[in-house]
């Protein structure tokens, strides 16, 4: 099948200003680009009139929780990938803190097969570093790689033992796969729900200190230097972690890092006094000083990419209140509009910069054939309406999770159409388009 997307404003992560273009998609691939001022012959083709919307490579999210197998009441591969498509994402990498934990080749294959049969975007599975994510015994890295795992992580918890982490890095290195680390020293956390800061003081709560994250970051950078592994830091949230990553990069350690939209736009001072658990995630919202450090680190390349850490939970679980509810917020359906509105609309970032950190940079960091729309590349793309303002309505999410602190926010930059492998999988008008 041949499709022409006409009258688009094209920009990818390598350009600075959008250009008017038409795009021909054939057999799932980018087939031809034409200048927007010329007319193209679309006879016999499907035609999508982009009508001046932004056309860009599909967004990539290297840190998401799809909850299947085991927590299907929170999310499934079907619902999570539909939510991703609606958010403009075409490639996502899912975390192994499922039930059972994704720590065997069979579970990796289960996730891949389910994604193929029921998913609507590309799903890349991570496998656990330790069995059951208990930090006691390493998984079989070679067999997990063979089954299709793209990297190793115990996300949800930190690997507490330095010796265990060092062995994991040595094995990952020998297989040419990265270690992706949720950095958290349990001995410093003590069951707290929010960061050490103004909110915790006001409510007399124990706080999660910045060092609980940064100690692991520093430890692991030294271990990555010793082993030569590609070491990727999850959801960076503190100024101290950033300092260490900057130092690691400056001496040539193969360290990369990610940051989440919520850590770029919210601080602990924004948490409402109602103690709403939709403001609870791990790592927690930090101080305004940490937020500014994260934004600057993303700007100067110390932090390489943006990820959502999409972490759906049921309404019942989140109703337990700030102290008892599980950590996590959903992210797919708000990420781009949020960052576009807060950083591009305000003039702090160019649109090209935001796109770079959500498309070609994640592809580069993880060696993916994605994030660009050269002729011959898979036609994974998104059309985005940069003009209309809409309110975040959790009731309209395709995710099963409604747990977001952004309900009611008025944002610009809403995806209008998502295409994966040359097939339109979602449009604003029709919703999900089943194959
Ligand atoms: O907020 C979070 N939610 N942080 C994590 O590390 C885990 C995740 C989850 O699985 O819900
Ligand atoms: Zn995590
Ligand atoms: Zn996570």
Q: Quote the CA–CA distance of 305 and 363 in Å, as a whole number.
A: 10
Residue nearest to atom 6 of ligand 1 (CA): 156
Percent of the chain with pLDDT over 70: 100
Q: Read off the pLDDT of residues 222-234 as tens digits, 9 standing for 90 and up.
A: 999 999 999 999 9
Q: Is the CB of 65 under 6 A from ligand 1?
A: yes
Q: Quick one: pLDDT band at residue 16, thresholds 50, 70, 90?
A: confident
Q: How many C-beta neighbours within 10 Å does residue 76 have? A: 20
Catalytic residues: 309
Q: Is the CB of 261 under 6 A from ligand 1?
A: no
Q: Is the CB of 182 under 6 A from ligand 1?
A: yes
Q: Is the CB of 208 under 6 A from ligand 1?
A: no
CB 295 within 8 Å of CB 264: yes
Q: How many residues does the chain have?
A: 435
Q: Which pLDDT score is estimated for 201? A: 96
Helix crossing, 288-300 with 239-250: angle to 10°? 20
Q: What are phi and psi of 194, to 5 degrees?
A: -130, 170
- The predicted model scores a pTM of 0.98
Q: Quote the CA–CA distance of 181 and 220 in Å, as a whole number.
A: 9
Q: Quote the CA–CA distance of 281 and 419 in Å, as a whole number.
A: 31
CB 47 within 8 Å of CB 4: yes
Q: Quick one: pLDDT band at residue 435, thresholds 50, 70, 90?
A: confident
Count the alpha carbons within 13 Å of 195 in the hemisphere toward its beta carbon: 26
Nearest-atom number in ligand 1 for the CA of 311 is: 11
Q: Which pLDDT score is estimated for 266? A: 98
Per DSSP, 228 falls in state -
Give, in degrees to the nearest 5, the angle at Cα 120 between 311 and 405. 25
**And the tokens for 238?**
């503190």
- What separation in angstroms does the CA of 406 have from each of 271, 329, 334? 11, 10, 8
Using the structure block, give the residue that is written with the tokens 């069951």.
Answer: 191
Q: Is the CB of 293 under 6 A from ligand 1?
A: no
Q: What are the respective helix, strand and coil percentages of the chain, to the nearest 5?
A: 35, 20, 45
Nearest-atom number in ligand 1 for the CA of 327 is: 1
Nearest-atom number in ligand 1 for the CA of 329 is: 1
**Averaged pLDDT for residues 321-338:** 98
Residue nearest to atom 4 of ligand 1 (CA): 282
| CA 406 / ligand 3 centre spacing (Å) | 19
Q: Read off the pLDDT of residues 141-175 as tens digits, 9 standing for 90 and up.
A: 999 999 999 999 999 999 999 999 999 999 999 99
Nearest-atom number in ligand 1 for the CA of 157 is: 6
Q: Quote the CA–CA distance of 308 and 293 in Å, as a whole number.
A: 18
Q: Is the CB of 263 under 6 A from ligand 1?
A: no
Closest residue by Cα to residue 6 from 58, 42, 31, 30: 42
Q: Which pLDDT score is estimated for 221? A: 99
Q: Is the CB of 328 under 6 A from ligand 1?
A: yes
Mean pLDDT of the chain: 98
CB 337 within 8 Å of CB 382: no
Q: Is the CB of 145 under 6 A from ligand 1?
A: no
Q: Which ligand is nearest to the CA of 313?
A: 1
Q: Read off the pLDDT of residues 195-243 as tens digits, 9 standing for 90 and up.
A: 999 999 999 999 999 999 999 999 999 999 999 999 999 999 999 999 9
Residue nearest to atom 2 of ligand 1 (CA): 328
Per DSSP, 135 falls in state S
Residue nearest to atom 7 of ligand 1 (CA): 156
Q: Which pLDDT score is estimated for 190? A: 86
Q: Read off the pLDDT of residues 29-67 as tens digits, 9 standing for 90 and up.
A: 999 999 999 999 999 999 999 999 999 999 999 999 999
DSSP string, 169-194: HHHHHHHT--EEE----GGGTTT--E
Closest residue by Cα to residue 259 from 354, 381, 190, 372: 354
Q: Quick one: pLDDT band at residue 339, thresholds 50, 70, 90?
A: very high
Higher pLDDT, 311 or 190: 311
**Averaged pLDDT for residues 68-72:** 98
| CA 82 / ligand 1 centre spacing (Å) | 20
Residue of 74, 326, 399 to test ligand 1 pocket, by largest number of atoms within 8 Å of CB: 326
Give, in degrees to the nearest 5, the angle at Cα 367 between 363 and 368. 55
Q: Is the CB of 253 under 6 A from ligand 1?
A: no
Q: Which pLDDT score is estimated for 1? A: 86
**Averaged pLDDT for residues 262-291:** 98
Helix crossing, 211-227 with 239-250: angle to 10°? 10
What are the residue ranges of helices labelled H in 359-401? 360-366
Nearest-atom number in ligand 1 for the CA of 234 is: 6
Give, in degrees to the nearest 5, the angle at Cα 358 between 328 and 148. 75
Percent of the chain with pLDDT over 90: 98
Q: Which ligand is nearest to the CA of 281?
A: 1
| CA 278 / ligand 1 centre spacing (Å) | 12
Q: Quote the CA–CA distance of 305 and 60 in Å, as a whole number.
A: 10
């Amino acid at each position: 099948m041949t499709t022409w997307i006409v009258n688009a404003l094209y920009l990818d992560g390598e350009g600075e200003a959008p250009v008017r273009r038409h795009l021909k998609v054939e057999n799932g691939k980018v087939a031809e680009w034409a200048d927007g001022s010329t007319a193209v012959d679309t006879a016999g083709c499907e035609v999508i009139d982009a009508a001046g919307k932004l056309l860009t490579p599909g967004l990539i999210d290297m840190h998401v929780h799809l909850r299947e197998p085991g927590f299907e009441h929170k999310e499934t591969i079907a619902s999570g990938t539909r939510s991703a498509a609606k958010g403009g994402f075409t490639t996502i990498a899912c975390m192994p803190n499922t039930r059972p934990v994704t720590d065997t080749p069979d579970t990796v294959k289960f996730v891949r097969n389910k994604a193929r049969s029921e998913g609507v975007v590309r799903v890349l599975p991570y496998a656990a570093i330790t069995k059951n994510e208990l930090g006691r015994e390493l998984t079989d890295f070679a067999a997990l790689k063979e089954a299709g795992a793209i990297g190793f992580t115990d996300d949800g918890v930190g690997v507490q033992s330095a010796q265990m982490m060092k062995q994991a890095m040595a094995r990952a290195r020998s297989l040419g796969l990265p270690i992706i680390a949720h950095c958290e020293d349990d001995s410093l956390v003590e069951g707290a729900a929010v960061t050490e800061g103004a909110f915790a003081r006001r409510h007399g709560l124990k706080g999660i200190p910045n060092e609980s994250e940064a100690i692991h970051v520093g430890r692991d950078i030294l271990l990555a230097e010793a082993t030569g592994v590609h070491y990727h830091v999850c959801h960076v949230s503190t100024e101290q972690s950033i300092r260490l990553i900057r130092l690691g990069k400056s001496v040539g350690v193969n360290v990369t890092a990610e940051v989440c939209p919520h850590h770029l736009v919210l601080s602990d001072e924004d948490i409402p006094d109602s103690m709403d658990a939709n403001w609870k995630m791990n790592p927690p919202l930090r101080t305004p000083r940490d937020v500014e450090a994260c934004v600057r680190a993303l700007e100067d390349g110390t932090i390489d990419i943006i990820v959502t850490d999409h972490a759906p939970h049921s309404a019942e679980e989140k109703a337990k209140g700030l102290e008892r509810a599980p950590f996590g917020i959903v992210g797919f359906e708000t990420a781009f509009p949020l960052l576009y509105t807060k950083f591009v609309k305000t003039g702090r970032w160019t649109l090209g910069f935001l796109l770079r950190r959500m498309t070609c940079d994640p592809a580069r960091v993880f060696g993916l054939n994605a994030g660009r729309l050269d002729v011959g590349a898979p036609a994974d793309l998104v059309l985005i309406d940069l003009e209309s303002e809409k309110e975040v309505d959790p009731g309209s999410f395709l995710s099963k999770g409604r747990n977001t602190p952004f309900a009611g926010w008025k944002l610009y930059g809403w995806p209008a159409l998502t295409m994966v492998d040359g097939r339109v999988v979602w449009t604003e008008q029709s919703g999900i388009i089943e194959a």
